[in-house]
Each structure stands twice: as C-alpha cells, then as structure tokens.
Chain A
Amino acid sequence: MKAGNLKQILLITDGCSNQGENPAMVASLVAEQGITVNVIGILEDTQSEQPEGLEEVEDVAVNGRGVSQIVYQQALTQTVQTVTKQAMTETLQGVVNHELKHILGQETTIEELPPEQRGEVMEVVDELGETCSLEVLVLVDTSASMANKLLAVQEALIDLSISMNARMGDNRFAVYQFPGRKKPIQQLVDWTSRLDSISSIFSKISSGGITPTGPALKEAMYQFGKKSLRRRFRKDDLSNIEEA
C-alpha cells in the first residue's frame, strides 16, 4: 500500500474569528479537498480551562477532520508535534479503513477488528506514518493578543521540524500569518523541508483587532492547490489520500 502525500493545515490561534465566512464551514470545505485542518488554541497564562473565545477551536478541527488541543504556551512545543502526529495517524487509519472496506466488502474499521488482527493492521499504519510524505501549512494568528506568544510558536515550529525530519518520509512546511496587510494571509516561510533555522519570522505583526479565520483558511487551501498544479505530472499518488 502506498502512503502517498498527507496534507495538513495547522491553525494556531488564541481567540475566535470575527470577520468573514464561518471558519468551521470553510474547514469542512478544506477537508473535502483532502487537507486536514488541525487547530491549537493558546490560553493566556491567567485564563481558566475553557474560556468562551476558544470554543471555536474544537468546532473547526472536527469539521476539518483534524485534531484540536487547547494549551498554555509553555506546553505548545510538545502539543504541536503530538497534534500533527495524531492527525497523521488518524488520516492514515482512515485510508486503511477504506482499504479494509474494499477487502472485507463491508463497513469494517480497525477498531472493530478483534485485538489480534488489529495489531497487524496497526503495524501497517505505523509503517505508513513513518514513510509517507507530509505537507504542513502552518497558519498563525498574529492579531495583537498573540504578540507575547509568537516566540513560543516559533520555537514549537523549529521543534516540529526536528520531530518530522526524524521520519523516513519527506516533509514540506510553509508558514503563513493572518491577517495579512492587504490580503487574508501573508507568507512568512515558503515551502521548505526544514524549519530548523527560522528566526524572528514574526517581526511584522499587524496590530488590528480583526481575526478573519475563515477567509484565512480558505486562502491557505489554495497554497496547496498552486503547488500541486505544478507537480501534477510528477506525482500521481496524491489521489490515494484524496479518495479516502
């Protein structure tokens, strides 16, 4: 079985959107294109477990068929890599479930198999997770309230790159911030295999009060589109994941 190419958007934010389309709706559109939307909500150190603004976080991730997590900024580094990995595993399980359905001819998921067989299937999932190519577009909310968290975000991204590059498969990362000056999103780092050497990428922060999460997600989706158009003739295995 070929692992193909996994595509993810990782949204890092600290509050709810207040402009443009509903982000949960956009996330489900994005997911339809075979791109998983994961969301990490960052809490202020003084905030309690579940403040109002962050309810959207789970909603967006569920509709984006991804994983969400709400954390304090000290835990950001570890969270960014677990969320990315967990979403990978879940996507791959989806692919494998799809294959199982073909083989067994009925609606069977990995979790419904007896434990003995599940082990063997899980080895396949682990193998795919190690070898598949991964593309992550990191979309960072840089509205004013995020200013004191951006250093932690940058550190977490460097660490994510270290974690993912320990795999056998290829990786590509891109970093965008939103809102941009005149457009919904602004490119900070173009598609690259390593983020180890990024430094002070969040220097230009827009301090406006708007958080157009929906439009930003939509725009982020097109950043995959552009690239896959260029690579369409080289990679045929993209279809594998998109089907599932």
Chain B
Amino acid sequence: MISPTSKKPDVRLRKGQIIIGKWHKRQYQVIRLLGSGAIGTVYLCLYQNRKVALKMSIQSAAITSEVNVLKSFQAVQGHHLGPALIDVDDYVTSAGHHYAFYIMEYISGDTLTSFINQNGNQWLSPLLLGLVKDLEVLHKQGYVFGDLKLENLIVARNPAKLRWVDVGGTTWKGRAIKEYTEFYDRAYWGCGTRKADAGYDLFALAMVILRVYYPDGFARGQNPRKTLRQKIDQAVDIEPLKHLLKQLVDQTFHEAGQVHRFLLTHAMKRQTTRAKQVQPINEPLYPVVEMIGVLTVGAGYCLYLML
C-alpha cells in the first residue's frame, strides 16, 4: 500500500521541452512556467500553434479531482465557468515515473491588482458583478469555489471580465473545503466553519477585494473580526463597497444573488445621483451654449466673407 507518489521526485519541465501524452499521444511544447500552487505547476504550452495551459502534479489524485470539476463545468451550457478542458493524459519520464496532467484553455490578462492600478478602482463594481454572477451559477450547480484568491483570478480583456483560472479548491456543497489559503479562509479569521457553503466563497470574495487595497495582506491580531473591520474602514474609499465588505465579512449574505443585487442597486444609484447633480447646472446653460455656438459659426462666416 506504499503510495508511489511519496517516492516520485518532483517534476520540472524545461522551456522547449516536448510533452507527449501516454494515452492520446498529443504533443505539447513548453513555452514557459505560468505559476505553481499547493498542488501542481502550470505551464504555458503550444499545441497546434495555439497557446494552451498545462497543469501537472506529482499528486495524480488531485489532478484527477480537478478534471472531474472542469468536466462538470462544461455541462453548464452558455456560461463560461472556468477555463475549458482540452485534454487529460499522463506524462511518463525517461525514469518511468508517471505524472498526470491536463490541458486547459489559456486565459491571458492582468492580475486584478494591476488592472485596478492601471484603470482605477471604479472598475471594481463591474468586475465584481461579473464574478458574483459566475459564483451564483456555480453555487446553483451545487459547488463552492473554495480557494478564491487574487492568484486564482485574471482580468481577461475585450470585454474586461474577471475569470478564475484554477479550480483546485472547488468542493461539493456540504463537504469540507478541499483547498484554501489562510488569508482568504473564513475559519482562519474566526468568521465561520470550513464547510463548503455559498457564504464561504462570499467571505473569500471580501478578502479578494481587501487584498487589492492591502497587496501584502495583514496579520489577524488578537481579535481577528475587529482587525477586519478596522482594515476595511481604513482603506476602502468607496462607501457602498465598504458597506458590502462588512456585510460579507459578517456573513449576513448567504447567497451570491444577494451580493449581485446589492452591487447592481449601488452601481445604478451612483449613476442617477451623478446625473441629477450634473443636469441642473447644464439645463439653464444650454441656451447660452447654443447661442455661443451660433455666434461662433456666424462670426466665422463673416470672417470668411470679409476675406
């Protein structure tokens, strides 16, 4: 019963290396390393002149579990939940060790932090709206994302959309969260259990937003809940967002739909108040602006005639 994984050496793929699957015999050429997590490493690869992402791990079991999740996502039609699954296979090294891997769609883009730094934090609301919508669909499917964190999210372009790239933590509702990261973990902050429910993801969502404001994170301190409230008050400069974060952290929202509605209401409200503020100034000015316009055109015409 000695597991082969405990004797197997860790695997490192070289740039330019060609990986051929044991079962399907497809060829993938390694371009570069994309990132490495608790289970497995992700590489950017070339397959039939197309960029794809390859995830390989020393733990075959974990890879297989993730593939199961990705497969079930594809059953949801018309909605992109996570990257599309392209292939599943084994890589056999010259020493005869087997490493399970899968190939998925390569999602390119910026990290949320760099996107917000470049484009301003007014983008937070629309990006969150999209993500919350995805979470809602996921939760309806009976899953909880689990390991929601900045590293697992990418802002894909055209249109700008926040997408998740690693589904390793996805867990059936009611079960124990498969994979998590302390800073984003509800139980770590003493705000609930580690059992998969919608609220678990919503808590992590709040921490994702907080992490944009605190790129290096912060310690939980003597009273974790108090620390959270203080950190929200100190940094978050958008009033409705501050309110939302506190509710997420306090777990007053139980469903992603509630967060979606909250964001929607506040995004709308801000637009209408701004319109109201702008219009009263503009309206009386309108005839004046028009007159100036007419006069300018007239003056131009006169000048033209004189010349």
Q: Report if A and B associate in a common complex.
A: yes
Q: Which chain A residues have a beta carbon within 8 Å of chain B's beta carbons?
A: 61-62, 65, 67-68, 77-78, 82, 86, 89-91, 93-94, 97-98, 109-111, 114-116, 118-119, 122-123, 125-126, 130, 159, 162-168, 244
**For window 1-26 of chain B, which residues contact chain A by CB distance below 8 Å?**
1-7, 23
Q: Which chain B residues have a beta carbon within 8 Å of chain A's beta carbons?
A: 1-7, 23, 38, 59-61, 64-65, 67-68, 71, 88-90, 98, 100, 174-177, 182, 187-188, 193-196
Instruction: State the Cβ distance, A218 to closest chain B Cβ, in Å.
Output: 21
Q: Which of B2, B175, B176 contacts A62 (CB 8 A)?
A: B2
Evaluate contact between A110 and B187: CB separation under 8 angstroms: no
Q: Which of A62, A122, A130 contacts B6 (CB 8 A)?
A: A62
Instruction: State the Cβ distance, B257 to closest chain A Cβ, in Å.
Output: 24
Compute how far the CA of A35 lies from the CA of B4 in the bound complex, rounded to whole angstroms.
18
Compute how far the CA of A123 lies from the CA of B61 in the bound complex, rounded to whole angstroms.
10
Taking CB atoms, residues of chain A closer than 8 Å to B195 are 166
| A162-B193 contact given A65-B1, A111-B98, CB 8 Å threshold | yes
| A162-B6 contact given A77-B182, A122-B61, A244-B1, CB 8 Å threshold | no
Taking CB atoms, residues of chain A closer than 8 Å to B174 are 168
Instruction: State the Cβ distance, B198 to closest chain A Cβ, in Å.
Output: 15
Evaluate contact between B175 and A159: CB separation under 8 angstroms: no
| A61-B194 contact given A89-B61, A115-B67, A163-B176, CB 8 Å threshold | no
| A119-B23 contact given A65-B2, A159-B187, A168-B175, CB 8 Å threshold | no
Evaluate contact between B60 and A111: CB separation under 8 angstroms: yes
Evaluate contact between A94 and B3: CB separation under 8 angstroms: yes
Compute how far the CA of A109 lies from the CA of B5 in the bound complex, rounded to whole angstroms.
12
Evaluate contact between B2 and A115: CB separation under 8 angstroms: no
Q: Determine which residue in B61, B68, B71 has the highest number of CB atoms from chain A within 10 A of its CB, and name it.
A: B61
| 15 additional contacts (CB under 8 A) given A91-B1, A98-B1, A116-B88 | A62-B2, A86-B59, A90-B3, A90-B6, A93-B3, A111-B100, A115-B64, A115-B88, A115-B90, A115-B100, A119-B64, A166-B193, A167-B175, A167-B176, A244-B1
Instruction: State the Cβ distance, B39 to closest chain A Cβ, in Å.
Output: 9
Specify the chain A residue showing the minimal Cβ separation from B4: A111
Compute how far the CA of A130 lies from the CA of B172 in the bound complex, rounded to whole angstroms.
10
Compute how far the CA of A93 lies from the CA of B64 in the bound complex, rounded to whole angstroms.
12
